A and B are shown apart, each in its own frame.
Chain A
């Protein structure tokens, strides 16, 4: 199954964050803000300011545009918690570990080699996919495309 496209209904899920709290997508959406889902292949990647760190640096801009972000990988909870701590990640990083990659699979971004694609989705408060992007696996997609998409969503609403 290819990655979910714009216009699709976002599949609901419930995953555990690094504090052991359950995060339920549609509960988060009830707050009325768009939610960015950032799937990434695995915790600990070698480049400075890797993707999850870069999004940490972008939190202020995401907030300014009224959006929330969560990261999702197929790593187990302890690995994700260690990663979040080492990188100073303050937004939720969710563990899609058991059954492995079940959520990534629902979004069409689980790979045959056992890791998730590096993929970005923006879900609007109504639960519709408003942005979908699968990055080359070794390229950090950056934040510019997300900021642009969020700005466009606001322009449409205004």
Chain B
């Protein structure tokens, strides 16, 4: 019987990791995990603690990259939330905003985003300028466009070492893949 969930086809990341990306972990890590995320998506919210735990468990072996994929047709606040994260990034605080957005589901209205920015101590004048900067909106659109080209088929979509990961999203399943990939890297 054919598997109703997957073809086993390989979908490859079309956009290599660059200086434009937000990433944590060693640049030379044997495993790079890219998440295409939407801050308003409940599945991404559920994925968040799993990926945090994964990164904390494998931080010497794993580089964790976050790219934006706001599904704006169903999530009216997703694009603004992504903008808030990018604007925080301009003040060197991307990850703090990233965490805050996922840790406060349902708090993504414009006034909530301002409150988050204040809470993490951003320069508010600069933040408000940056969230209105067309260049940041453009960057998010570009993440999304390249994501579509790479086979992002919903949120979250994960790529592990450049290949779309369609397996189970539990910590244990992902930890197995990370260990396997790290081991392969060690042999190269």
User: A88 to B4, Cβ gap below 8 A?
Assistant: no
User: A54 to B149, Cβ gap below 8 A?
Assistant: no
Tell me if B41 is interfacial: C-beta within 8 Å of chain A: yes
Contact of B74 among A49, A139, A142 (CB under 8 A): A49
Give chain B residues whose Cβ lies under 8 Å from the Cβ of A141: 153
- Would you give the 0/1 interface string for A36-56, flagging 1 where the beta carbon is closer than 8 Å to chain B? 000000000001111101101
User: Whose C-beta in chain B lies nearest to the C-beta of A88?
Assistant: B73
- Would you give the 0/1 interface string for B138-157, flagging 1 where the beta carbon is closer than 8 Å to chain A? 00000011001111111100
Chain B at the A interface: mostly helix, strand, loop or mixed? loop
Tell me if A138 is interfacial: C-beta within 8 Å of chain B: yes
Tell me if A30 is interfacial: C-beta within 8 Å of chain B: no
Q: What is the CB-to-nearest-CB distance from B127 to chain A, in angstroms, rounded to a whole number?
A: 27
Q: What is the CB-to-nearest-CB distance from A60 to chain B, in angstroms, rounded to a whole number?
A: 8
Tell me if A63 is interfacial: C-beta within 8 Å of chain B: no
**Interchain CA distance A147-B145 in the complex, whole Å:** 11
Tell me if B187 is interfacial: C-beta within 8 Å of chain A: no
Give chain B residues whose Cβ lies under 8 Å from the Cβ of A87: 73-74
**Interchain CA distance A3-B112 in the complex, whole Å:** 49
Tell me if A140 is interfacial: C-beta within 8 Å of chain B: yes
* Chain A-chain B contacts (Cβ-Cβ < 8 Å), number: 80
A48-B154, A54-B154 known; A144+B71 contact, CB < 8 A: no
Q: How many residues from B make CB contacts under 8 Å with A?
A: 29
Question: For window 116-143 of chain A, which residues contact chain B by CB distance below 8 Å?
Answer: 135-143
User: B153 to A140, Cβ gap below 8 A?
Assistant: yes
What interface size band does chain A fall in? 20 to 34
User: Whose C-beta in chain A lies nearest to the C-beta of B43?
Assistant: A48
User: A136 to B150, Cβ gap below 8 A?
Assistant: no
Tell me if B6 is interfacial: C-beta within 8 Å of chain A: yes
Chain A at the B interface: mostly helix, strand, loop or mixed? loop
Q: What is the CB-to-nearest-CB distance from A82 to chain B, in angstroms, rounded to a whole number?
A: 14
Tell me if B129 is interfacial: C-beta within 8 Å of chain A: no
- Would you give the 0/1 interface string for B2-34, flagging 1 where the beta carbon is closer than 8 Å to chain A? 111111000100000000000000000000000
User: Whose C-beta in chain A lies nearest to the C-beta of B145?
Assistant: A61
Give chain A residues whose Cβ lies under 8 Å from the Cβ of B74: 48-49, 53, 86-88
Q: What is the CB-to-nearest-CB distance from A114 to chain B, in angstroms, rounded to a whole number?
A: 16
Give chain A residues whose Cβ lies under 8 Å from the Cβ of B11: 142, 144
Give chain A residues whose Cβ lies under 8 Å from the Cβ of B4: 136-139
User: A57 to B72, Cβ gap below 8 A?
Assistant: yes
User: A48 to B155, Cβ gap below 8 A?
Assistant: yes
Contact of A53 among B43, B44, B73 (CB under 8 A): B73
Q: What is the CB-to-nearest-CB distance from A144 to chain B, in angstroms, rounded to a whole number?
A: 4
Contact of B73 among A56, A138, A139, A147 (CB under 8 A): A56
Tell me if A58 is interfacial: C-beta within 8 Å of chain B: yes
Give chain A residues whose Cβ lies under 8 Å from the Cβ of B42: 48
**Interchain CA distance A90-B73 in the complex, whole Å:** 9
**Contacts from B to A (Cβ < 8 Å):** 2-7, 11, 38, 41-44, 69, 71-75, 144-145, 148-155, 166
New A-B contacts (5) at CB < 8 Å, excluding given A57-B148, A88-B74: A48-B154, A56-B73, A136-B6, A139-B5, A144-B148
The 6 closest A-B pairs by CB, nearest first: A142-B153, A88-B73, A49-B154, A140-B153, A49-B71, A48-B41
